[in-house]
Structures are given as C-alpha cells and as structure tokens.
C-alpha cells in the first residue's frame, strides 16, 4: 500500500497511512494508547501542505503549548518554514488571536486584556469587599470555579440569574447573591476591556453564532480543521469547531475515548462518542497497534477497559515482547507501601543499572505522596513531584508546621509571621511591621511583644487579638510534656480553626489541601505508634525528622536524574519503563466520590487504564491492607480494578504473613488470590489461632512486661497476637523479637511497645 505514496510516508503502518492520506471530509482517528497519535497528526498536516494546500488554511488545535510546539517542529522538518504559517496552538491561544481581529463586534477593544486566575480572583475580592459580603461564604476560588462552570456550559450571567435550579442551589449553599455577583463580575470585565480565560472561548462561540459575516469569513479561511485529544473537549469547544468546519466539512478529530478523564474540568466524552452521529459520512480510522508497552501490559489494560459500556470499538494490540507479569503487592500499612516501593526501585536500579528517570510512582491524590517521599529520601533516591509541590512544601502543610514550630520555639520569627494572621485575626501587615520595630527597640521577640501587646498603645485595636493569640500558643506549650506529637498537633489544628477553614472550602483545590493536612496528621500518628523506633514521640522529635525531609532539592535543575512522582491525571501523555500505581484500594481508587453513578465509575476505570498504559516494561500495583485515616488505622479492601484484570497477567505478592480479613472476604468472592505466591522463608501461620483485623483494638489495655521472656504469648494494640522468639538488650533499650500471627516478625522496644502478656 505504501508504494503508491511519497517515500516520506514509508515509515507508517497501514492504519496510520490511511489516516494520513484521507484528508477530505470528516475523519475520526481513534488512537489507542501508545499508537503513534502525534506522529499521524503531524504527517497528516505535512501531507496536506505537500499536496498544495495553503498553510494559512489549516487550523490545528491542541490542549497544551508543548504539544503544539512539538508538532510544529516535526512538521517543519517535513515541509520547511511553511509550517510557521499554520494556525496551530491551544484553543485559548488560537482564538485569542482571532478575537484580536474581531473583538470590537462584541463590545471589546481589539487590544483587550486577558485576566489570569489571580487577576480574576482579585476582581472578585474587590466586589466582595465593596458589597460587604463574607469571603468565607463567597470564597473567591469557589466563586470563580462556579462562574467558569456556567460559562463552559454556555450559561451567561444574565441567563444564570433566571435559572431557577441554579439559583436554588445557591440558596441552599447560603450564597443567594451569587447570580448578582456573576453579573457584576462580567460588567467589570467589560468595563476594563478584559476577558478571563473562559471568555476567550465563550466570546469566540458568541462571535461565530451572532455574526454571520464573521463566521463566513473564518469558515472559508480554514479549509482544514484538526483537533487533538478530542475526548477532552467541552461544550464550548465542540460548538466552535463544529461551526468553523461547517463550510468545507474537512474536520479531523484525533483521540481515545478510553483516556477521557477530565470531566471535572468540563470535558464531555459524548463529543467523541457522538462524532459519527454528528457526521454520518465520517471515515473512521483506528490506530490499534501499541508501540509502547509489553503484550502483558497491553492485554491487561484491555481486559479492564472492555468493562466500560460507553466506548468506541477498538482492539489495541502490540507486537512487542510478552514481558513480565504485573506485580500486585499487598502491604500491611500505607507507610510500609512507601517503603516497599522505594526498596524495589533501589533494587531494580542496582540490579539493572537504571537511572532514576526510568521510574514513576503514580497516585490518585496528591496527599498520597508523603510516604513515598519519605521512603525515597531515606534510601538516598532523588525524586521530583511533577505538577505539584513536594508534600512538605505545600502551603497548608507549612502553615500547620509553622504552628508546631512556634510551640517548640517561641523565638521562631518566620513561623510567627506566617501564622499570626492565619486563620484571619484582623492582624494586618501594618501591625506586624509595628511588632518588628517594638521587638527590635526592646531587644526581645515578636512573640513576647504579642503576649503583652496591650502595653503598647501603638498596636491599637490589634492588641487584644495579639494577646489572645499569645495566650492560645502558651496553652499549647503547656501541653508539650503531657501530649505526644500527634495528639498535640490534632488539638492545635482544631483550636486554631485551621482544619475548619480547610474543610469548608469545597473546591477541588480546597479538598486537596484538607486531605494533605489530614495526611500530615496520619503521618504523625504513625510516627508516635512506631514501636520499632528508639526515638521519643514528642513534637520536637517529629519536627526534627521533618527537617530532614525539607532540605534544598535543587528543583530548578532541569538535568537532575529523578524518580517521577505525580497524580495519574498529570501522567497522561507520558511513559516510563517502570511504573508503580499505588493506593489500589476501594474508596481511594476508585475514589469514594466517584461511585454515585456508572458514568463516574467508568471515568475512574478510564483513569486506571491511563495509569496502566503509562508503563513500557514493568508495572507494579500496590495497596495497603490498613491505612491511617483521621488518626485511626482502618482496614482497606483491594480495588475492584485489580479484580478486573485477567488473572493470567498477574503476579501476586503479600508482604505480610496472612491475608487480612478484608482481603479474605474479597478472595472468597473473586478467587483472585488462588495462585498467591508467597515469599520463601516466611514463618508458618498457626492454623488454630484466628487472626484479628489489622486495626488498633480500642479495648486494649497495656500490661506489665518487665518479666517478658522468650516463648511467652503477647498481644499488641495494633499487631494483635504473637509469640516472643527472643529477647535482647537491657534496661531502657530492652527489645523483644515477636512473631505475630498476622504481621510476621517485629523487633519492638519494650518502653515504647503497647503490649500485654497473655495466657497460652
């Protein structure tokens, strides 16, 4: 087939070639994971130009500037500098360029300003202040998010205030003036000659719909319209592209419905699923050969995604080697999960002489990164968080840590300045500047001045708030000797109002920040309950450990060889030789918030499909049979997505010695672990003793273990029952080696261990 076409197309397979050379009429290219989608789109544009089309008549829309640059560079290598003339870029960049020529027709100047997110939030804050509205009820980020939702659903402000259902939602949320706020926000934008990001698309759609002459001009300008990642388009993008292609009908969309994972941003999978209905004469080309992954990974991914009902027909395959089975690893706790992954990376690096960049750890939520960061650091493995900050660098984490630092050290001026007005106490920057001057003049600290603030008239009305702050902090300091790190931090997070403030923010970012603080507290709980550590369990000791995690990691060095840590959403479009998909538990992945409908569950399954297909050579799935949540060690259940993989592709491994109760119940239902492979050398599990679930026993009472000796039977608050195999050390350093029924052998320091001697 390739013989009839120019030599530059020789490297394409049959399906890719067909997609490239069929340039006329509506075309849908269904591109499976790793099938060379970008290459096909690149060659298709180059082929159109080589056949004589004017590059100015080609519109190519992408979702990232990086994708646009990459395609333009590739096209330029094929056709030369003509590639510079293609209308190629992101939806926002291309349509902002169009609006510069037409904006006056909808009441904007042609040199309109584009407001970024911060500009938009500041405008909302200004209106809230002028209207005397509470910014805790009308959180600027939440307000902007709801405005964005309305715009991308093509609901302008004037229609919003007339929509009974929407205004009723606002009433229930105690934000009855939201509609008015939306209207005022749009008035201020227009008055300032400005558009926000959403307006660029909304106004383009409005322009094409309301002004036939403008629509006609651009419809004839663009003879070819191409859209990358079509499964990620929203309603506005759908209407714009459909209208622009209305004259020539040469519209080509490229995408994979199995990788539609951005509904929370407004993307609708129906755009790609209904494309054949929208264009009955469409030619459909399926890129089904995967060039990225092993046969095992490709077939495993296919066995999962086939369960979705809403999807386009395709059969992804590969001629690559079979490859190793997918390793599924169960660990006892989430912290052990972090240690297992880090150790496995260390061993694979050493054994196969691999760089750090060969490895990626993918998780469902940002809060999960903590245990993996800590484990990697302890093994000296460099890593980088992509698409976000390292756990201990996140604002909400640094805020709570600042409170903890100030409790330990009242002289810590940086910690003081960070939290003196967070949450807000009506202590502004002017007051803080006066505190600094007073502290300098009196040769003392900011905290000392705050505790005696009413002695200094220059502090004015803020004096009471400052002294109340000082009184609160001193009450925390008084608890240092009587409370462990976790109990004190939990008390501080509640008493300061920090947890309440985060909990009340229901935006996507707000929920993430709240989850991060909860995860910090979970880590502190694990810290104080770690019987294998000889460290004290106080706040100072915990902060000392944290300090080791927050050194300068030279994040700005682009040449660093690092393990990649990122959310699965952030990993789309990337690939790695070794991939670890972690936290594979029900209510975590799939998310508990995505189990209300089949559509939500199917998107979670597509997200899992994306995670699996990032792996080139090896894929590891890990989960914990118990996970700290809100200070409690709760049992976990393996994700249903593990069950959905054909068993022939799995290699099961358990790091504990006996399956937890949750897994045993799931095994009875699915027989998933029939062929479980146990590590050699594990001590046998006594069949006559039933294993308790791996959670702390609330009725447990510690006992006197001063007479503990080898051969005695004991109970531990968290690990359950076991037998002492040997003793070592003396006095405060006395340790017991205990073989637990449920968790194997542990070495515990008796002065920290929560144990009691039992009969038998």
Q: Tell me which residues are annotated as active site.
A: 37-38, 228-229, 259, 614
Instruction: Yes or no: say if 337 and 656 are a contact pair by the CB < 8 Å rule.
Output: no
- Is the separation of the CB atoms in 645 and 651 below 8 Å? no
Say how far apart CA 383 and CA 516 lie, in whole Å. 19
Give the Cβ contact number of residue 87 at 10 Å. 20
Residue that is written with structure tokens 């803080």 in the block: 432
C-alpha–C-alpha distance, residues 662 and 643, integer Å? 14
Rounded Cα gap, residues 72 and 59, in angstroms: 12
Could you tell me the two tokens for 372?
């993996």
- Provide DSSP, 131-163: TT--TTTS-HHHHHHHHHHHHHTT--HHHHTT-
> Is the separation of the CB atoms in 281 and 26 below 8 Å?
yes
Q: List helix spans (H) across 274-394.
A: 275-278, 295-305, 334-352, 369-378
Three-state DSSP class for residue 659: coil
DSSP letters along 210-272, please? H-HHHHHHHHHH-SEEEESSGGG--HHHHHHHHHHTTTT--EEEEE-GGG---GGGT--THHH
Token representation of residue 369: 């990164």
Question: What DSSP string describes 22-74?
Answer: --SS-EEEEE-TTS-HHHHHHHHHHHHHHTT--GGGEEEEESSHHHHHHHHHH
Tell how strand 735-740 and strand 744-749 pair up.
antiparallel
Question: CA-CA distance, 749 to 345, in Å (whole number)?
Answer: 29
- The rounded distance, in Å, linking the Cα atoms of 368 and 146 is 27
State the Cα–Cα distance between residues 585 and 571, nearest whole angstrom. 19
Is the peptide bond prior to 246 cis by the omega test (within 30 degrees of 0)?
A: no
């Amino acid at each position: 087939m390739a013989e009839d076409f120019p030599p530059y197309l020789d490297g394409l397979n049959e399906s890719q070639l067909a997609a490239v050379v069929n340039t006329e009429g509506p075309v849908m290219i269904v591109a499976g994971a790793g099938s060379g989608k970008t290459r096909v789109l690149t060659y298709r544009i180059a082929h159109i130009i080589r056949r004589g089309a004017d590059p100015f008549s080609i519109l190519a829309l992408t979702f990232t500037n990086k994708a646009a640059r990459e395609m333009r560079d590739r096209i330029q290598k094929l056709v030369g500098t003509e590639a510079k003339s293609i209308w190629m870029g992101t939806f926002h960049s291309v349509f902002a360029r169009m609006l510069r020529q037409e904006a006056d027709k909808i009441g904007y100047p042609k040199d309109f300003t584009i407001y970024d997110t911060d500009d938009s939030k500041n405008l909302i804050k200004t209106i809230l202040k002028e209207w005397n509205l509470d910014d805790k009820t009308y959180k600027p980020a939440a307000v902007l998010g709801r405005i964005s939702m309305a715009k991308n659903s093509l609901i302008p402000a004037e229609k919003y205030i007339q929509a009974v259902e929407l205004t009723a939602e606002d009433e229930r949320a105690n934000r009855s003036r939201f509609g008015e706020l939306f209207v005022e926000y749009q008035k201020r934008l227009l008055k300032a000659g400005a558009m926000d990001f959403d307006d660029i698309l909304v106004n383009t759609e409005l322009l094409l719909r309301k002004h036939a002459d403008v629509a006609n001009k651009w419809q004839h300008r663009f003879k070819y319209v191409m859209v990358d990642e079509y499964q990620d388009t929203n309603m506005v993008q759908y209407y714009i592209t459909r209208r622009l292609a209305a004259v020539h009908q040469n519209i080509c969309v490229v995408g994979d419905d199995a990788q539609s994972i951005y509904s929370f941003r407004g993307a609708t999978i129906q755009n790609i699923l209904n494309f054949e209905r929208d264009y009955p004469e469409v030619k459909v080309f399926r890129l089904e050969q995967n060039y990225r992954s092993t046969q095992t990974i490709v077939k495993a991914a296919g066995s999962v995604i086939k369960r979705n009902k809403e999807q386009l027909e395709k059969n992804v395959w590969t001629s690559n080697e079979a490859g190793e089975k997918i390793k599924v690893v169960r660990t006892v706790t989430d912290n052990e999960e972090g240690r297992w992954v880090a150790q496995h990376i260390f061993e694979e690096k050493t054994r196969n002489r691999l760089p750090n960049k060969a490895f990626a750890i993918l998780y469902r939520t940002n809060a999960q990164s903590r245990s993996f960061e800590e484990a990697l650091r302890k093994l000296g493995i460099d890593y980088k968080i992509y698409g976000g900050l390292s756990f201990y660098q996140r604002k909400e984490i640094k805020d709570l840590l600042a409170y903890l630092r100030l409790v330990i050290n009242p002289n810590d001026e940086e910690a003081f300045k960070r939290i003196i007005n967070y949450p807000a106490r009506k202590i502004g920057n002017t007051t803080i500047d006066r505190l600094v001057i007073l502290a300098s003049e009196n040769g003392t600290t900011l905290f000392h001045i705050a505790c005696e603030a009413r002695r200094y008239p220059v502090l004015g009305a803020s004096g009471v708030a400052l002294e109340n702050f000082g009184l609160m902090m001193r009450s925390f300091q008084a608890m240092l000797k009587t409370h462990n790190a976790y109990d004190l931090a939990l008390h501080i997070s509640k008493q300061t109002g920090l947890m309440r403030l985060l909990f009340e923010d229901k935006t996507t970012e707000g929920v993430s920040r709240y989850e991060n603080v909860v995860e910090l507290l979970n880590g502190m709980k694990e810290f104080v309950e770690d019987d294998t550590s000889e460290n004290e369990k106080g706040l100072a000791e915990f902060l000392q450990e944290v300090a080791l995690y927050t050194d300068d990691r030279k994040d700005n060095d682009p040449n660093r060889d690092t393990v990649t840590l990122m959310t699965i959403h952030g990993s789309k479009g990337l690939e790695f030789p070794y991939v670890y998909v972690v936290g594979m538990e029900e209510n975590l992945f799939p998310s508990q918030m995505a189990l209300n409908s089949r559509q939500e569950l199917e998107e979670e399954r597509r997200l899992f499909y994306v995670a699996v297909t990032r792996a080139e050579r090896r894929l590891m799935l890990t989960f914990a049979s118990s996970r700290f949540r809100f200070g409690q060690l709760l049992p976990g259940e393996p994700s249903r997505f593990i069950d959905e993989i054909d068993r022939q592709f799995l290699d099961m491994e358990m790091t504990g010695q006996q399956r937890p109760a949750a897994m045993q119940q799931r095994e009875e239902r699915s027989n998933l672990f029939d062929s479980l492979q146990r590590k050699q050398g594990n001590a046998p599990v006594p069949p006559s003793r039933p294993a308790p679930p791996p959670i702390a026993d609330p009725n447990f009472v510690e006992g006197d273990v001063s007479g503990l000796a080898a051969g005695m039977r004991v109970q531990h608050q968290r690990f359950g029952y076991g037998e002492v195999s040997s003793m070592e050390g003396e006095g405060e350093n006395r340790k017991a080696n205990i073989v637990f029924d449920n968790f194997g052998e542990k070495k515990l320091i008796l002065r920290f261990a929560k144990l009691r001697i039992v009969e038998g």
